[in-house]
Chains A and B, each alone.
Chain A
Amino acid sequence: MTNKKFILGVFEEEEVLLQAIENIRAAGTKIYEVFTPFPIHGIDDVLGIKRSRLPIAAFLYGCAGLAFALWMQIYMLGFDWPMIIGGKPHVALPAFIPVSFELTVFCTAHGMVLTFLIICGLYPRLKVPVFDVRSTDDKFVMAIEVKDGVTDVNKVNDLLRSNGAVEVNEKEVV
């Protein structure tokens, strides 16, 4: 595998960063990734991040949880071992509401979080692909990939500087 080269623009203010993203994308340069210490309001639009479909996934997990809970209670108490308890009918739907609700929430929450971890590639590991460690502290880092023979490094440097980057670094990633 060949090494990938990146140019990192370091910004100090999020407003400057937002403007820079807009200008740089307008100039036709592709932004590889932006790293920020906290979520920035409005960055999705300027970066062109699509709306996440996680809510749909969460809804489906919830439906699955509800269906499982209802099936479980109706099958177990209504058919597999029918018993009259407290004068209630075998399939006592009102009495099944609490467990159905809890299992719906359980499946929604855990299913969605697992999906989130998988799609973001988050799992416990020792080596972490951080480009600039200050991006988890107080700096906003924009990474632009350098493709040999295609990218004009000086032009990208100038573009970053003129848009308010306080520092421009190069980094190779194996």
Chain B
Amino acid sequence: MQHVSPIREPLVTGGKTYHDITEDISRQVEAKPNIRWALALAVSLFFLGIFIYSVYRTLWYGIGEWGLNKTVGWAWDITNFVWWVGIGHAGTLISAILLLFRQKWRNSINRAAEAMTIFAVICAAMFPVLHMGRPWLAYWVLPLPNTFGSLWVNFNSPLLWDVFAISTYFTVSLVFWYLGLVPDFATIRDRATGPIARRAYALLSLGWTGSAKHWSRYETVSLILAGVSTPLVLSVHTIVSMDFATAVIPGWHTTIFPPYFVAGAIFSGFAMVLTLMIITRDVFFLKDYITLEHIESMNKIIILTGSIVGIAYITEFFIAWYSGVEYEQYAFINRATGPYWWAYWSMMTCNVITPQLFWVRKIRRSIVATFIITIFVNIGMWFERFVIIVTSLHRDYLPSSWVMFYPTKIDVGIYVGTLGLFFTLFLLFAKYFPVINMFEVKTILKSSSGVPHTLEPEKSMHATTPVTHQNRHHD
């Protein structure tokens, strides 16, 4: 293989030209859906059905359908909420923070990662809204003048901060993602042959022409959006952690929560991005764009954030002992040896031990190992939230109110159902939207394609790979 730089690996392999990029990525959108995609969609729709049924039961019979009770007033639902919000963070991290750091490897994966963010936040939002019991009154969380006189929402409450944080996060991510899609929708619009596709993508592309002036302003907008999204990513999970940290419950009331939650969010988010990208690159034949280099880079971030999370667990334990507060000490000993010991040790195994395997280069660069480890990380991060929420609540200051929490079928149904919702949305995205940001990949092609662009790609390498160079005729 030929490299432009002796020290950097190429980000796009296979000796592509600009036209090849357009072809490779638009092909998925233009072609008829394949069987594997249709099967995956069928499975997702089945789980979406479970979601709809569970939501119906929750709304019709009330929150009594869930396993939470008087002592464990937050349980499975908030666990799922925090888990989903955390997963969302990787997308914005890739699109905003890595853009500011000029990390070019983000270009092939940012589109799908941002889509994942949007869908994960949608799934997350389901839980607090359903937890209200009467979701049609959800607008009460907004500071609107109301019929009870001028009674306003409580701006001192972290739960209200969440309302502002999550809604800002969702809408800003949505706009950032959509803006990135506009030029690629224009590409698909100009290639479209069918009347429906041409009209649909014309509407979606907002009349984008690719004029130099528009591009110049576009880049300014992206940069500022990245600039404001970067602190946004950090603030959202910080605020989520404050829901706990401002309470007086042993095991929650800690100052380490904001950075620890942010690291955990990025940790689980990258694991989910990897899980999705490994499948996507295989199903849609995108191995030249999402290379081992990309997977390795993401694995390195997993080592970093996984180690921060591991240190946070140990620090929490240390501080519980060092503070001398017996309630705090009991909460942590109860986590490790009490009735939920299995959840605690699942968390420790999945989150502290598994990411450390990535120190070995062979494992870091193995697709199969990465796929398995990322699934473990996602399971571990779910248990982390479960451990924090349920083990702290089920034994509080008053032993007479100690209870156990058991999820009901509806609890499980809603959680599994949001997975269905998430994958349904992701599959529809992967089929009808360009999964890879075409124009951004084109900008890095000459510097990072692994073949000097002045050489003719067909002659210099991959003589066996047919490279399409047909110029399609236009009006």
Contact = CB atoms under 8 A, between A and B. Distances in A.
B203 A137 contact: no
Interface string B420-455: 000000000000000000011011000000000000
Interface stretch (A22-30, A79-87, A151-159): A79-87
B164 A98 contact: yes
Contacts of A49: 212-213, 216
B225 A134 contact: no
A44 B205 CA distance: 23
A150 interface: no
Given A101-B235, A105-B228, A112-B224, A137 B19 contact: yes
Contacts of B219: 39
A138 B19 contact: yes
B468 to A, nearest CB: 12
A54 B221 contact: yes
A116 B221 contact: yes
Chain B binding surface, main DSSP class: helix
A166 to B, nearest CB: 10
A72 B155 CA distance: 10
A37 B155 contact: no
B210 A135 contact: yes
Contact of A126 (B143, B179, B202): B202
Given A37-B442, A138-B18, A133 B168 contact: no
Interface in A5-47: 33-40, 43-44, 47
Looking at B189, B207, B219, B225, the one whose CB has the most chain A CB atoms below 10 A away is: B207
Contact of B232 (A85, A105, A112, A135): A105
A137 B25 CA distance: 11
Interface in A54-77: 54-55, 58, 62, 72-73, 76-77
A105 to B, nearest CB: 5
B135 interface: no
B225 A113 contact: yes
B60 interface: no
B474 A134 contact: yes
Looking at B149, B205, B211, B212, the one whose CB has the most chain A CB atoms below 10 A away is: B212
A35 B85 CA distance: 39
A164 B42 CA distance: 52
A108 B226 CA distance: 12
Contacts of B182: 122
A161 B386 CA distance: 68
Nearest to A13: B453
Interface in B148-164: 149-158, 160-161, 164
A99 B161 CA distance: 6
Interface of A: 33-40, 43-44, 47, 49, 52, 54-55, 58, 62, 72-73, 76-77, 80-81, 85-86, 88, 92, 95-96, 98-99, 101-103, 105-106, 108-110, 112-113, 116-117, 119-138
